[in-house]
Amino acid sequence: MRKYLIITACLLPLLTQAQQPKLVVGVVVDQMRYDYLTRFWDRYGDQGFKKIINNGFNCKNTHYNYMPTYTAPGHASIYTGTTPENHGIIANTWFDKTTNTLVYCTSDNTMTTVGSTSEYGKMSPHRLISTTMTDELKLATNSKGKVIGISIKDRGAILPAGHRADAAYWFEGGASGKWISSSYYNQQLPEWLTKLNDSKPAEKYLNQSWETLYPISSYTQSISDNNPYEVLFKTEKQPVFPHNLPALRDSNDNYSLIKSTPFGNTILKELAMATIENEKLGQDAYTDFLAVSFSSPDYIGHQFGPMSVEVEDTYLRLDKELAELLSFLEKKVGKENFLLFLTADHGAVNVPQYLTDNHLPGGYFNEGLLEMELNTFLSKKFNVEGLVANTSNFQVFLNNSLIQANNWNTALIENAVAEFLLQQEGIAKVITSNALRETELTDRIMANAQRGFNPSRSGNILYILESGWIPSVSHQGTTHGSPYNYDTHVPLLWYGSKVKKGETDKLVVIPDIAATVSSLINIQFPSACTGQPINDLIK
């Protein structure tokens, strides 16, 4: 028996090291619906999306299993392997019930900006209350494995990188046009990144027009380029190609303009390759992790909508960026030495005005007007002013301090609010916090609402809009956030080390990603992980 134990102890580390990927690359495409893979399939090249799908594993039925489907909760859920009820990132910005103020998911006034004199680097992951798979990698390697997060958006870099990251970098627009960071990670940028910033990475792309990659007549998956559903760039007369970026810079916050073009993806790809090169990721015995979040598709999707030529062109260009990144990884690290997954933080609904013009369900809900009308209703019913503290993120926050000071029945007030909400056009379902705490919901849509509910941070009443409805007064552009398929169904592709070729139609939920990666690289699951490994894809 003793001999058996000695042999096992000797063999296990050798087996683990031999099977371990040297680099994990997590790619998140901000606002990528699953149907962007199928709609544009015939126009993709062989070395980008098609290469990953044809030579990797495609989870075709992957969904977010909570609401609201926003950027910050999406990235947090991918990397923690759980939902907002456990990781605490309930929105991008939310109403803080303890301070009665709005807080941003990654803001941290105890930090300072690194790489700039602005306030945009005063950030950290301190509001994330679960570990991430990147945190667990740091623990498993005794901090010898490097973890770096990069994105145009701060939250797209910070939340995936977790609490123990070596670095996180994001793009500062305006007059800066630089990659910046926070003192949470380091007191200064590495020399290689300072040199990259000195080269003004966005400059050459903003000194050209955004033309379609191919003749515009070939964009048959999109509606007319000149249509009434798109938001104009400031000073632009029509939402049509070509978009004259040099002429638009001054009126669209200079370097910030690149965020709303496909070239935001280009400079992020260049940063990804520079990071791998200069930080020597995947070059030693310890697994490293690079979290890459392409933010520009979200800015473009909000502005132009899923049926626009702009969105189609963005994905055709992104396909080429992915092809270049994959080629770089295979040459620099080796296909059998890296593991890559690609997913999205949410989808998007078609522009509601476009839906209604085509006799499909859709509409607009005025959330600002709701707060005013609800306060009026409650003041009449209960003969008291100011019972509603805030309405945001499909939630109503009551003035709990006022209710407690007067020893009023919270459940009675919540039920009155729920009855009022159900009478409003565009609201489909309502549930109170008391009901969410006392009942485990099984209906898919309502269960999604429950998994997005964090008792210490969420509001008193949650409501769900009808399919195709968004909280907006503008009839151009679109958004996301709902529990419906257009917001929850996203790609999930796997490629590289330990991944077999194939696909599955089985339901996969976003928390399964962290569980799967953790299994593939032999680390502990994140602390609050509720996902399960996707065994079908493991070689």
Which residues are annotated as catalytic?
Answer: 71
CA dihedral 349→229→259→491, nearest 10 degrees, is 30
**Which is nearest to 474 in space by CA: 224, 260, 229, 298?**
229
CB 168 within 8 A of CB 185: yes
Work out whether the CA dihedral 248, 481, 95, 381 comes out positive or negative.
Answer: positive
- What is the rounded distance in angstroms from the CA atom of residue 374 to the CA atom of residue 476? 27
CB 25 within 8 A of CB 147: no
List Cβ neighbours of 506 (8 Å cut-off, separation of 6 or more): 59, 61, 536
Tell me how far the alpha carbon of residue 379 is from its chain's centroid.
39
Q: What type of residue is 395?
A: Q
- What is the rounded distance in angstroms from the CA atom of residue 297 to the CA atom of residue 278? 27
CB 196 within 8 A of CB 169: no
Task: State which H helix or E strand residue 324 sits in.
Answer: helix 309-332
- What is the rounded distance in angstroms from the CA atom of residue 299 to the CA atom of residue 301? 6
Q: Quick one: the chain helix, strand, coil %, rounded to 5?
A: 40, 20, 40
Tell me how far the alpha carbon of residue 233 is from its chain's centroid.
24
Say if residue 243 is exposed, middle or buried (CB neighbours under 10 Å; 0-12, 13-18, 19+). Answer: middle
Work out whether the CA dihedral 408, 412, 414, 419 comes out positive or negative.
Answer: negative
- What is the rounded distance in angstroms from the CA atom of residue 459 to the CA atom of residue 473? 23
**In whole angstroms, how large is the CA radius of gyration of the chain?**
24
Helices (H), 141-262: 154-161, 191-198, 203-206, 245-248
Q: What are phi and psi of 48, to 5 degrees?
A: -110, -115
CB 90 within 8 A of CB 77: no
| CA angle, 68 then 25 then 142, to 5° | 100
Say if residue 381 is exposed, middle or buried (CB neighbours under 10 Å; 0-12, 13-18, 19+). Answer: middle
**Which is nearest to 538 in space by CA: 487, 504, 491, 488?**
504
Task: List the structure tokens of 430.
Answer: 């309502």
Q: What type of residue is 175?
A: A
- Residue the block writes with tokens 């990781």: 87
